[in-house]
A and B are shown apart, each in its own frame.
Chain A
């Protein structure tokens, strides 16, 4: 069986047998929101980090008792899952001040207290200045102390270095696979790559490395699931985890060849490195990798990343993905749309609800956009 089928299966369920096996072996499973939470710290404290997602969510009915309908559907769905007891396999959650919606999720979680172990809020500064770096290091010291105490495993420098090495390896392998997508007939589709990202952030990192190596093996063996696409697409945005949505994007001969999303480049861009103080190195990597719109001082850096990736991956167009009411992406999309227009790169901004319907409208938009690109070629 192709490893891509296994990855798809792992991506489509909120929890899996590998996670369960790790838990049986006595490793706590700790959920974390956002690509700014250093998984290395959680791992060094003996835990299996689990990237939070709304996979398998059945709606927002319970979540809506805590959130208004003007909150993004990601936090509403996750809250709903928590209240239904669907996340009880977690032994704790590290929240983060990624955006106001996430911040309120932490407040509501503490108030509703689902049976998901501890709730910790990691504060990550919104800029990359030396003062912000120093502050993030301080916050990481606090988190390491908290985890050490809660989980009974002291986060020593040696443990942290070993975890960094493992996660750097995972990042390198992911980058290698991503790089192969530059080929005229890429070895993985965007949907497959997203499934892989969902899978490898929901299993112990040791298993993740093995899965990615197998995927790389298949990719290098000359795999080309859709041949040469008619259109090559770069995707950017915030919370994006629906495989069905990427399938829609990859219709009418279009293929996603690269991205700058949380479950994508933001996770594997740039290594931490083994040199020096590991907490310094972590702070530098997390504030230095391709940023997300929550970072207030790096719009230029993000645009430069997009323009370079569009060139390197020979993308024909950019799709800007936003969840309804995501204030981060609203501002970002406005700027990006103008900057891309200046650079002569066609772009389409899509707004959707996580696992929401509106398939007809999204299809029409995408199809019209692709037809427009086709008219120009």
Chain B
């Protein structure tokens, strides 16, 4: 049985397909004009990679900002729950998730089943998010993918405000006008974003087993700065950290399917007076057992 999770974010859309609890395909690409278009494209691409058809999908769960607008989704869950269950599925040791996406940043604390116990999310300011890194990389004249590697080559970060992206940009421009090393400015930027995220993490009590997910987790400099600021080493994830939301959504699709089937069974049993009502642990919804499959 195949389950799909689709995460339509502000910058990218992601789809993950699960079969028997294992990831069989995933796909990421920049968002289109509408969430439905983005979701349709990533889902088709993932289906093509797995060589399966839409009709083969048992259930589809949507998450991300576009989650309410996907006509073909059977259910939707918040990004917070999905990033939680996705990272937990990817590594059962995960109990805290720092997710830095395109326009928001979340810190999620999980229980032993990978479900949300507590969370914090940035306010509308985008200073600790991927959008800021994109903006400032452009200001520096670097492709986004270059920002992290260049920052890692610096030995001294130049101070960059972490109040808001506009102030950050002003600082960056000031250093550029003074002819300072691009590497040091880049490191100032990544350190500033990390400080901002660490402050958000301070709003909840992190549990050991901290991981990082979301597109910004690919920026090695932010990761290093954040580990230093939080005093932790991030635990690894078995899949691309960018698809954790979609993976979690696929797991919720699977859980929901199990729950619905149990409900059907219960109704059938209740309708047959000769059968006693089933109860107890055997009736509980199965936890997503996690997946061991590698990414294609």
Instruction: List residues of chain A with CB under 8 Å of any chain B CB.
Output: 324, 351, 358, 360-361, 363-365, 367-368, 371-372, 375
Contact = CB atoms under 8 A, between A and B. Distances in A.
A375 B104 CA distance: 24
A368 B111 contact: no
Q: Please name the 9 residue pairs, one residue from A and one from B, whose CB atoms are nearest each other, closest first.
A: A368-B80, A367-B78, A368-B78, A375-B115, A372-B116, A371-B81, A360-B65, A358-B124, A364-B78
B4 to A, nearest CB: 19
A368 B81 contact: yes
A365 B78 CA distance: 8
A375 B78 contact: no
Contacts of B81: 367-368, 371-372
Contacts, number: 43
Q: Which of B79, B81, B117 has the most chain A CB atoms inside 10 A of its CB?
A: B81
Contacts of B104: 361, 364
24 contacts: A324-B123, A351-B123, A358-B124, A360-B65, A361-B104, A361-B121, A361-B123, A361-B124, A364-B65, A364-B79, A364-B80, A364-B104, A368-B78, A368-B80, A368-B81, A368-B116, A368-B121, A371-B77, A371-B78, A371-B80, A371-B81, A372-B118, A372-B119, A375-B113
B109 to A, nearest CB: 10
Interface in B80-105: 80-81, 104
Interface of B: 65, 68, 77-81, 104, 111, 113, 115-119, 121, 123-124
Contact of A365 (B65, B68, B77, B121): B121
Given A372-B116, A375-B111, 18 more contacts: A324-B123, A351-B123, A358-B124, A361-B121, A361-B123, A364-B78, A364-B80, A365-B80, A367-B77, A367-B78, A367-B81, A368-B121, A371-B80, A372-B81, A372-B115, A372-B117, A372-B118, A375-B116
A144 B286 CA distance: 68
A351 B79 CA distance: 19
Contacts of B65: 360, 364
A371 B116 contact: yes
B31 to A, nearest CB: 14
Contacts of A360: 65
Contacts of B116: 368, 371-372, 375
A51 to B, nearest CB: 29
A278 B111 CA distance: 57
Contacts of B118: 372
Nearest to A348: B119
A210 B79 CA distance: 46
A211 B78 CA distance: 39
A325 to B, nearest CB: 12
Nearest to A357: B124
A358 B80 CA distance: 16
Nearest to A364: B78
A360 B117 CA distance: 21
A367 B84 CA distance: 14
Nearest to B113: A375
Contacts of A371: 77-78, 80-81, 116
Q: Which of A324, A361, A365, A368 has the most chain B CB atoms inside 10 A of its CB?
A: A368
A361 B80 CA distance: 11
Contacts of B78: 364, 367-368, 371
A223 to B, nearest CB: 28
Q: Which of B80, B104, B118 has the most chain A CB atoms inside 10 A of its CB?
A: B80
A368 to B, nearest CB: 4
Nearest to A369: B119
Contacts of A363: 68
A361 B77 CA distance: 14
A365 B123 CA distance: 10
Nearest to B76: A367
B155 to A, nearest CB: 38
A358 B104 CA distance: 12
Nearest to B122: A361
A188 B115 CA distance: 32
